[in-house]
Amino acid sequence: MHGNIIVGQSGGPTSVINSSLVGVYKTAKDRGAKKVYGMLHGIKGLLDDQYVDLSEHIKTDLDIDLLKRTPSSFLGSCRYKLPSISEGKEVYEKIFAKLKELDIEAFFYIGGNDSMDTIKKLSDYAILVDSNIKFMGVPKTIDNDLATTDHTPGYGSAAKYIAAVTKEIIRDGLVYDYPQFTIIEIMGRNAGWLTAAAALSKSEDCEGVDMIFLPEVPFDIDNFMEKVKELSKKKNSIVIAISEGIKVADGRYVFELADHVSFTDAFGHKQLSGSAKFLANKIGAELGVKTRAIELSTLQRSAAHMTSRVDITEAFQVGGAAVKAAFEGETGKVIVLERVSDDPYICITNSQDVRKIANIEKKVPVEWIINDNTYVSDELIHYIRPLIQAELSPVMVDGLPRHLKLNL
């Protein structure tokens, strides 16, 4: 028998983040945890006494299977970053008082870089105050930018969605027999893993995208326009995938080259979109051809109707492995994925010091960016391919995918 545990979700959603929640919940229950609490909107919810007893919300095996197929964080999320221990001692005292009140044995946080920072700080504080509460990180991000893990749950499904819809967009472009350019804008501020997934569209039945531009290398607009002109001489329909985060050599985002549109939101944050539109407009103006900009937007992180079975399974596994590790006494760790073999694809979980992963951004190796920075290498494609394999069919009710709803 074990005591109570608590779990939260943080950062941007993915279409499989709830499979990790199920992994934590089910494994904890199976291993004799008493109560499994869920923080609403991450640690922010815990601080505001916003949490639920998950058993009251995941009641049946059907609920478990629906939750695995439910996109976007079931418990809600936050982007709250803990202060340093020296500067925010009272926040830590408050959190640990709450955890004591709930008689928590282990604390799980499903998230990306910022969330791993939270686990790091909480486990540091636990040492400081001699608490024996275990703190474990469960990795998730569509961006695949977490260090030391072979890849991150959430990425495989986003990659599969991107590759699948890119195939459909390419098909759509072939329908007319006049020249046209389509620019697909894909998420990824600093890391190009998601954009690289567009390369998977190339297959026996599809010639794939014509060029791919990642944020790891500077974007050269003159070179781009030259390549565009060459392509336009060879074929009618040209499809190009770009990362939302591509920047020119002087550090400006590509969309910032447009001079007539404000890209700052109400909070003064730069809105990271519009580069596809800018490039499409430029091509249209210079070549006199039809162009279209397509932003995949939030669907690439929430399209639970098109997930990878490998990804959903691994998302579950990292959640379960975190519980197993915590119950065996580990703390201040994050579960990582280790690829044992490429072919056949075999991947195992391991636990690792959270300090090795927190606040480090893993980017696409520049040697995997080829053809004068306009495409990605076979190594990169072989790396991604196993992660998009197989499906978990949505549960369709009255014609639409059914999700599990949190009723508060």
Applying the rule CB under 8 A, the residues between 264 and 293 that interact with a second copy are 265-267, 281, 284-285, 287-292
- Residue closer to a second copy (CB basis): 320 or 386: 386
Nearer to a second copy, 290 or 339 (CB): 290
Using the minimum distance from each CB to a second copy, give the nearer residue, 202 or 324: 202
State the helix-helix crossing angle for 309-327 and 17-30, rounded to 10 degrees: 40
Cα gap 169→209, rounded to integer Å:
10
Q: Residue 238 has which token pair? A: 């040209």
Site membership for a second copy, residue 343 (CB under 8 A): no
Quick check: 56 binds a second copy (CB under 8 A)?
A: no
Our finding on whether 113 is near a second copy (CB under 8 A) is no
Q: Which of 41, 134, 151, 362 binds a second copy (CB under 8 A)?
A: 41
Minimal CA–CA distance to 220: which of 240, 246, 186?
246
* Residue 283 identity (one-letter amino acid): I
Stretch 161-200 residues interacting with a second copy (CB under 8 A) = 163-165, 167-169, 171-172, 174-177, 182, 200
The footprint of a second copy on residues 304-323 (CB under 8 A) is 304-306, 308
Q: Binders of a second copy among 203-232, rule CB under 8 A?
A: 203-206
Nearer to a second copy, 125 or 155 (CB): 155
Residue nearer to a second copy on the CB measure, 295 or 330: 295
If one asks whether residue 399 binds a second copy (CB under 8 A), the answer comes out as: yes
Of 362-391, binders to a second copy (CB under 8 A) are 385, 388-391
Which residues 6-25 are close enough to bind a second copy by CB under 8 A? Answer: 12-13
52 binds a second copy (CB under 8 A): no
Rounded-to-integer distance, Cα 29 and Cα 7, Å = 13
CA distance 51 to 39: 4
Give dist(CA 299, CA 161) in Å, integer. 9
Q: Is 401 in the site for a second copy (CB under 8 A)?
A: yes
Are 69 and 394 within 8 A, CB to CB? yes
For residue 359, state whether it binds a second copy (rule: CB under 8 A). no
- Number of Cβ within a 10 Å radius of residue 260: 4
Given the rule CB under 8 A, which of 26-34, 124-132, 158-166, 210-218 is the region that contacts a second copy?
Answer: 158-166
Q: Please tell me the distance from the alpha carbon of residue 191 to that of residue 189, in angstroms, as a whole number.
A: 6
Comparison of 220 and 391: residue with beta carbon closer to a second copy: 391
Q: How far is the CB of 109 from a second copy (least distance, A)?
A: 15
Query: Could you say which of 16, 187, 196, 303 contacts a second copy (CB under 8 A)?
Result: 303
Count of chain residues binding a second copy (CB under 8 A): 75
Q: Which is nearer to a second copy, 216 or 244 (CB)?
A: 244
E strand segments, 207-353: 211-213, 237-243, 290-295, 333-342, 345-353
CB of 52 to a second copy, least distance (A): 14
Residue 390 tokens, joined: 């197989």
Residues 229-258 within binding reach of a second copy (CB under 8 A): none
Q: Is residue 37 exposed (0-12), middle (13-18) or buried (19+ Cβ within 10 Å)?
A: buried
Distance CA(326)–CA(43), nearest Å, equals 19
- The alpha carbon of 195 is separated from its chain's Cα centroid by a whole number of angstroms, namely 12
Contact 348, 337 (CB under 8 A): yes
Q: Which of 298, 360, 366, 382 binds a second copy (CB under 8 A)?
A: 298
Q: Where are the alpha helices (DSSP H) in 178-258?
A: 193-196, 221-234
Catalytic residues: 143
Give me the least distance between CB of 36 and a second copy, in Å please: 20
Given the rule CB under 8 A, which of 65-73, 91-99, 215-223, 339-347 is the region that contacts a second copy? Answer: 65-73
Rule CB under 8 A: choose which of 19, 27, 73, 313 binds a second copy. Answer: 73
Q: How many residues does the chain have?
A: 408
Q: Which residues contact 143 (CB under 8 A, 6 or more apart)?
A: 112, 152, 155, 187, 188, 189, 191, 193, 194
